[in-house]
């Protein structure tokens, strides 16, 4: 088991955003968390990556507790997050944004190879590597954010709403890329408003409601679940 979240609770002031959540992610899986806005999905990702401290509970990554570690150490251990809204660095070129993703790495030869791998996976980034990242389209910025996360050579990548605000042509491409990332050996924890797309590619999923997990199962089983269809799939 690569990631195990045990009885996690997170507060924002007096508001309890996450209430005793437990789930796990096995190496090589795509696991998705689905739920309405405000269900606690992004809060969970931010807590895993060290941006928020939990009130209680444990986060075990590769056999080690990380809930008290700083974000920099968590990234160095092999977890990268692609935040909601992409958050690329404007004023820096595409290549400089990718270099920011690799800033903790010391394996220079492999890092050079990984730049080429990212450019092969995202040809538009190769074409625009010297262009200000702020001039890219929304879909291209999402590809850059994913490429930047991959430059950290993660074992686990956390994706927060990767299709948000994208044109339909880019949405299909982003989900193809997520599957390619998995096939290349990186484990994926995915948060996505487009529940149908997320469950279609996920090995397993968890449904969150008001800070709690209310349902879990394989992606296929959750897609077929009538309650899930009614609440999240427009069924």
Classify 44 as helix, strand or coil.
helix
Per-residue confidence of the chain (235 residues) as pLDDT tens digits?
Answer: 999 999 999 998 889 999 999 999 999 999 999 999 889 999 999 999 999 999 999 999 999 999 999 999 999 999 999 988 878 999 999 999 999 999 888 898 999 999 999 999 999 999 999 999 999 999 999 999 999 999 999 999 999 999 988 888 889 989 999 999 999 999 999 999 899 999 999 999 999 999 999 999 999 999 999 999 998 887 6
The length of the chain in residues reads 235
Classify residue 227: in a domain, yes or no. yes
CATH number at residue 175: 3.40.50.300
Q: How far apart are CA 158 and CA 5, in angstroms?
A: 14
- Kindly state whether residue 183 falls inside one of the protein's structural domains: yes
In a domain, 146, yes or no: no
From CA 133, how far away is CA 82, in angstroms rounded? 16
Q: How far apart are CA 215 and CA 120, in angstroms?
A: 38
Which domain covers residue 218, as residue numbers? Answer: 3-89+154-232
Nearest Cα to Cα of residue 148 among 109, 72, 94, 105: 94
Inter-residue contact 216 to 208 (CB < 8 Å): no
């Amino acid at each position: 088991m690569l990631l195990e979240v045990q009885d996690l609770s997170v507060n924002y002031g007096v508001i309890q955003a996450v209430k005793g959540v437990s789930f796990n992610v096995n190496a090589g899986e795509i696991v998705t968390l689905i739920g309405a806005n405000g269900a606690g999905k992004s809060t969970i990702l931010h807590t895993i990556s060290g941006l928020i401290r939990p009130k209680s509970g444990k986060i075990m990554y590769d056999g080690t507790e990380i809930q008290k570690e700083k974000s920099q150490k968590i990234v160095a251990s092999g977890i990268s997050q692609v935040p909601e809204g992409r958050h690329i660095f404007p004023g820096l070129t595409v290549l400089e944004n990718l270099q920011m993703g690799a800033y903790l790495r010391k394996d220079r030869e492999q890092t050079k190879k990984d730049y080429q791998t990212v450019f092969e996976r995202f040809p538009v980034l190769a074409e625009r590597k010297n262009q200000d990242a702020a001039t890219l389209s929304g879909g291209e910025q999402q590809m850059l954010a994913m490429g930047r996360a991959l430059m950290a050579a993660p074992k686990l990548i956390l994706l927060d709403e990767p299709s948000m605000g994208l044109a339909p042509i880019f949405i299909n491409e982003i989900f193809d890329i997520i599957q390619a990332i998995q096939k290349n050996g990186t484990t994926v924890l995915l948060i996505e408003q487009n529940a149908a797309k997320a469950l279609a590619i996920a090995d397993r999923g968890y449904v969150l409601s008001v800070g709690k997990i209310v349902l879990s199962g394989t992606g296929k089983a959750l897609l077929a679940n009538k309650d899930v269809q009614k609440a999240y799939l427009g069924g």
